[in-house]
Amino acid sequence: MYVILVYDMGEARVTKMLKLCRRYLNWIQNSVFEGSISPVKLLELIEEAKQIMDLSNDSLIIFSSREERWLTKQVVGVERNKIGNFL
């Protein structure tokens, strides 16, 4: 499956979250990641994220698509990190 992950965390936890997400996905902007990931790995990522997060303050949103080709990506301005192409 293909996911887009965005988080909004208290500053004290941002670095840990960034490191965690980098282990599973590709950083593309600010607090935004994308990439192919198996459902099992995604669950693992979410469980680890929960350990880092203050669940009453922080927010993590994951959009997933079964197929990467169902998503089109368009970049305007600067591309912070170029990774594999979308269709």
Residues that bind its own copies (CB under 8 A): 4, 6-8, 28-32, 34, 46, 49-50, 53-67, 70-80
CB 34 within 8 A of CB 25: yes
* CB closer to its own copies out of 19 and 80: 80
Question: Whole-number minimum distance, CB 58 to its own copies, in Å?
Answer: 5
Contact 4, 42 (CB under 8 A): no
Which residue, 40 or 61, is less far from its own copies as judged by CB?
61
For residue 87, CA distances in Å to 5, 13, 16, 30, 60 come to 19, 35, 32, 23, 26
Q: Which is nearer to its own copies, 19 or 81 (CB)?
A: 81
Q: Which is nearer to its own copies, 25 or 60 (CB)?
A: 60
Distance CA 62, CA 69 (A): 17
How crowded is residue 26: how many other Cβ atoms within 10 Å of its Cβ?
Answer: 16
- As measured in angstroms, the least distance from the Cβ of 9 to its own copies is 9
Beta carbon of residue 30, minimum distance to its own copies (angstroms, whole number): 4
